[in-house]
Amino acid sequence: MKSISIKGQERESVGKSATKAARNAGLVPCVIYGGDKPVHFTAEEKSFRNLVYTPNVHTVAIDLGSQTVDAVLQDIQFHPVSDRILHIDFFQLHQDKEITMEVPVKISGTAKGVLAGGVLRLNQRKLKVRALPSNLPDFVEVNVSNLDMGNKLYVTEVEADNFKLLHADNTVVAQVRMSRAAMKAAQEAAKVAKGGK
């Protein structure tokens, strides 16, 4: 999985007034959990652009000067009106401990049912995976080539090499449905067949 770097400064005071002052200075208050103790730090709001406003998923190398912590985004709070980032929680990665993350689904191939006039519907845009940090995929590839009209692709049919998919076996990832135009044509054909008898 791709990693992005964020430069931050550790925070000593974490009270309301210190947090407000940090936000007024264009900084985002953050916390890293999962280590010996929580690490509080701030970083410039613009440094989170490639992490937050993207469909892709990344691990984060947080450079705090005295140490660099590998982590993943766990939770984020936005201002209800201005949509600015108010607070971010990170979870520290340990190379020997598995972690759970949501990863985007990437479609490959062209479904037979689409070639026959159907419409491909992606039911799951992200899938929850569990893996060691070094095995986390950038995306989960889903091959839809064998899907005929009306077929569904279940999570059990998705290849998962070095990671586990944490979904019920009956979870539908993608399906091919009949398009409205094809449905209308079939109804018209049925009416003609009835009338012709």
What pLDDT digit, counting tens, does each position of 140-168 carry? 999 999 999 899 999 999 998 899 999 99
Class of domain 3-93: mainly beta
Question: Domain boundaries in the chain?
Answer: 3-93, 100-185
Lowest mean pLDDT among 3-12, 157-166, 178-187: 178-187
Contact present, 139 and 123 (Cβ < 8 Å): no
Q: Is 71 exposed, middle or buried (0-12, 13-18, 19+ CB in 10 A)?
A: buried
Q: What CATH number does the domain located at 100-185 have? A: 2.170.120.20
Note the pTM of the prediction, 2 decimals: 0.79
Cβ atoms within 10 Å of 93's Cβ, excluding its own: 20
Cβ atoms within 10 Å of 191's Cβ, excluding its own: 10
Binned at pLDDT 50, 70 and 90, residue 195 comes out as low
Contact present, 6 and 61 (Cβ < 8 Å): yes
pLDDT number for residue 56? 87
The Cα 22–Cα 6 span in angstroms is 17
The Cα 126–Cα 54 span in angstroms is 13
Q: Is 72 exposed, middle or buried (0-12, 13-18, 19+ CB in 10 A)?
A: buried
115-129 core/surface letters (b: 16 or more CB in 10 A; e: else): eeebbbeeebeebbb
What pLDDT digit, counting tens, does each position of 11-43 carry? 887 888 888 999 999 999 999 999 999 999 999
